[in-house]
Amino acid sequence: MFSATFLVLIPVVHLLLLTIPLAVTDIRERRLPNKYILPNLLVAFLAVLSTLIFGEWQRVLISLGVALAIAVIGLTANYFDVLGMGDVKLLVAMALPLSWFSPLTTLTLIGVTFLLATIAVIVVVLTKKITPLTTVALGPYALVTFAVLGGQQIATFFTS
């Protein structure tokens, strides 16, 4: 039962346990607190690195590379006030374990997150509840998507 996959599922489960508090905080306050995100980011980083003991160096390099790319793109988006730093850190924390399984899973995470957020914004703008310049909490959309993708990895682990 103890395997590289099991190690990488630890940050997935950890973040799933934080989903509700993070989503509620982001909706209410438009922020994702470091007290939740940074420990998960550390757990994800250490879990991915620890799979080196199982010889999973290719997966580690892919995971770190994808997370680094997301961090660079996210920091650039933050510089232009398009994305909050909490969202950047959250996406990197999600990308580390998901990219270990497959970089396409992380691409799915980002694509579905932004698609859901865009649809929600369009609906709310059309109903005139917000203006196009209103900030929107991205965290809940990312967390819902992560819950599905992370849950899929957990289910696969326990059913194979």
Reported pTM: 0.94
What pLDDT score was predicted for residue 133? 78
Burial class (CB in 10 A: 0-12, 13-18, 19+), 55: exposed
pLDDT over 70 (residue 69): yes
For the chain, what percent of residues have pLDDT higher than 90? Answer: 89
Mean pLDDT of 110-136: 89
pLDDT over 90 (residue 105): yes
DSSP-based three-state secondary structure for 79: helix
Average pLDDT of the chain is 95
What pLDDT score was predicted for residue 128? 84
Domain map (residue ranges) of the chain: 4-159
What pLDDT score was predicted for residue 132? 75
User: Which of 3, 14, 4 lies closest to 146, judged by CA?
Assistant: 14
What pLDDT score was predicted for residue 143? 98
Ramachandran assignment for 81, one of left (phi > 0), alpha (psi -120 to 50 degrees), beta (any other): left
What pLDDT score was predicted for residue 6? 96
Mean pLDDT of 42-53: 98
Over the stretch 73-103, which tens digit does the pLDDT of each residue have? 999 999 999 999 999 999 999 999 999 999 9
Residues 6 or more apart whose CB falls under 8 angstroms from that of 141 comprise 113, 114, 116, 117, 120
Q: What letter does residue 133 receive in the DSSP assignment?
A: T
pLDDT over 70 (residue 1): no
What pLDDT score was predicted for residue 130? 81
Mean pLDDT of 37-46: 97
Mean pLDDT of 136-144: 95
Over the stretch 9-31, which tens digit does the pLDDT of each residue have? 999 999 999 999 999 999 999 99
AA identity, residue 114? F
